[in-house]
Structure 1
Amino acid sequence: MTQIFDESGNVVPVTVIEAGPCHVLQLKTQERDGYEAVQLGFGDKPRRLASRSERGQVAPLSSKRAKKQAAAGVEASAKPNCEPKKFVRELRGSIEGFELGQEVKVGILADVKSVDIVGTSKGRGYAGVMKRHNFAGQRATHGVKKVHRHTGGTGCSAYPSRTFKGMRMSGQYGAAKVTQRNVKVVKVDEENNLILVYGAAPGPNGGFVVVKATNMV
């Protein structure tokens, strides 16, 4: 996160996201897959670190199976012929205007006013109820001994003799998929493939996110 100044001199808090260039790795069609989607990849991955399946996704590989299919007259699927990617995601929607291997840059969002940002929130490990659910904790006076940050009673006596589902307790906090809806686009820097969005975005610095035009009015 950082801040910029608008035309009136007001401070605007923004998150800077490097949005591209991305390559179109695959196009899903209604006839073949039952739905339409564009599969995008971001960030080149060294081939020595990429698995065989990752390398085979972007370029044809020689194998016994490929030779056998070629001998039988089976046409191999087209490949984008680019480097393996670190981050691959599929976005459902119309594939009109997209081609296999096409380079998609941030300029595609130049006229978009608001976006949805999908990322993985910061992992905070196993957390107590005060940190995880903003509980007040117990009293710091008489009668409370070394349990000031504990949950306290969870109700339920002889009847119904159980704890209800959804009871807020300590547990794993963060490291979950988060979607931030209808985030305002402040600026698009096509030259440096950057998009500046208002406020915070889910995840740590350097984390991967998916940015797409919002469907909220």
Structure 2
Amino acid sequence: MSVSQMLPRQCNRLALPLLRRSLTTESRAEIPLSKIISRYAVVDENSASNAVDPAEYQHSPISESIAILPVPENYRRLKRSELPLARLFDSREAALERKQLAARTGAVVVKRGMMGMFEPDGTRVPVTVLQLDRAQVTAVKSVDANGYYAVQVGAGQRHHKNVTRPMLGHFWKAGVPPKKVVREFRVKDGNGLMPVATEITVEHFVEGQYVDVWGTGKGKGFSGVMKRHGFTGLPASHGVSAAHRSAGSTGQSQDPGRVLAGKKMSGRMGGKSVTVHNVKVHKVIPEYGLILVKGPVPGPTNGTVCIQDAIKKPDVIKE
């Protein structure tokens, strides 16, 4: 009698591939019963379908190392929508688990400009000076109440006459003075939440770690194609009449008879959100509330930017 004849008909489809793989292996390890019955559930007319427990069933060996699982008559194959894995993959919790988020909250800082610092070996390092200005936690959001984890941080100060009444009530509930800027930072789980009214200082960041910095870039206004897209322009000598910096041809003739969408043309440049990843924290000065990061960051001088632990290098710290 073959192996397929000894197994129940409804179990052959799942069990046979497992049995063949086990027969060809040198270790001839026993097949986990959960692999065979994980897609079966009890069909009970009086109650809903229940999960199958592999420990409840007896298995009879075909050989010294192979076990089979008899599937009773009152068992049916589960649909794909009924599988726990499918429901977990499509759930909001699973989407949150897959999303790349930092473990800790960030801070709202002010960009004070750029400068150069010299290393002991004489190397000059360009750094951007970021300053924390009375940053405090103004609210927290959780999965139960909002569907995701986040920390709302406010920075700066604003006179109460220049703040709307809803925001005044929001700050009063948090127990913090009115803030000039309020930003929200997503975190991975509840461990990244902080108590409301907690002050965030420069000690929140460590020298040598990597951070992500984002903010609104400098607005350049209406710019031509040479500045906006890097076009080389038309010839600057003979044959061109007052059109040296023009875009040139923008399309074809009757076919397709229109300018294709996405064509690079003149238009408004800058003034959009820009993110710089993996920026190294060069130095932290707690006395003045300053964070010096290597390289440039988006935004103008005295503009507001956000800084948070790098999601691509969360645990990398270089001395």
The structure with higher relative contact order (CA 8 Å, sep 6+) is 1
Q: What code does the residue aligned with 1:183 have?
A: V
Distance of aligned partners of 1:112 and 1:39 in 2 relative to their CA distance in 1, 3 Å threshold:
farther
**Residues 25 and 80, structure 1, Cα contact 8 Å, conserved in 2:** yes
Q: Report the more deviating stretch, 44-53 or 115-124.
A: 44-53
Structure with more of its chain in helix, by fraction: 2
Match of 1:123 in 2: 219
**Residues 45 and 85, structure 1, Cα contact 8 Å, conserved in 2:** yes
| Larger Rg, first or second structure (1 or 2) | 2
Q: Report the more deviating stretch, 160-169 or 121-130.
A: 160-169
How far residue 19 of structure 1 moved from its aligned partner, in angstroms, is 2.8
Match of 1:73 in 2: none
Match of 1:212 in 2: 308
Map 1:56-71; keep pairs closer than 5 Å. 56-59=169-172
Q: Does 1:27 align with 2:140?
A: yes
Match of 1:86 in 2: 180
SS, match of residue 185 in structure 2: strand
- Structure 1 residues not aligned, in runs of 5+: 60-78
How far residue 212 of structure 1 moved from its aligned partner, in angstroms, is 0.5
> Partners of 1:209 and 1:181 in 2: how far apart?
13
Sequence identity (%): 40
Match of 2:295 in 1: 199
- Structure 2 residues not aligned, in runs of 5+: 1-113, 314-319
Given the two structures, how large is their TM-score scaled by the length of structure 2? 0.60
Q: Report the more deviating stretch, 32-41 or 50-59.
A: 50-59
Q: Does 1:49 align with 2:162?
A: yes
Structure with more of its chain in strand, by fraction: 1
Q: What code does the residue aligned with 1:47 have?
A: H
Match of 2:151 in 1: 38
> Partners of 1:112 and 1:198 in 2: how far apart?
10
How far residue 40 of structure 1 moved from its aligned partner, in angstroms, is 0.2
Q: Does 1:13 align with 2:107?
A: no
How far residue 104 of structure 1 moved from its aligned partner, in angstroms, is 1.1
**Residues 14 and 198, structure 1, Cα contact 8 Å, conserved in 2:** yes
Cα root mean square deviation, aligned? 1.4
Q: How many residues align?
A: 198
SS, match of residue 150 in structure 1: coil
Given the two structures, how large is their TM-score scaled by the length of structure 1? 0.87
Match of 2:36 in 1: none
How far residue 20 of structure 1 moved from its aligned partner, in angstroms, is 4.3
How far residue 4 of structure 1 moved from its aligned partner, in angstroms, is 0.7
**Residues 112 and 213, structure 1, Cα contact 8 Å, conserved in 2:** no
**Residues 188 and 196, structure 1, Cα contact 8 Å, conserved in 2:** yes
Question: What are the Cα deviations for residues 40-76 of structure 1, in whole angstroms up to 9, with x where unaligned?
Answer: 00101111211112211111xxxxxxxxxxxxxxxxx
Q: What code does the residue aligned with 1:33 have?
A: N
Map 1:93-132; keep pairs closer than 5 Å. 93=187, 94-96=189-191, 98-110=194-206, 113-132=209-228
Match of 2:234 in 1: 138
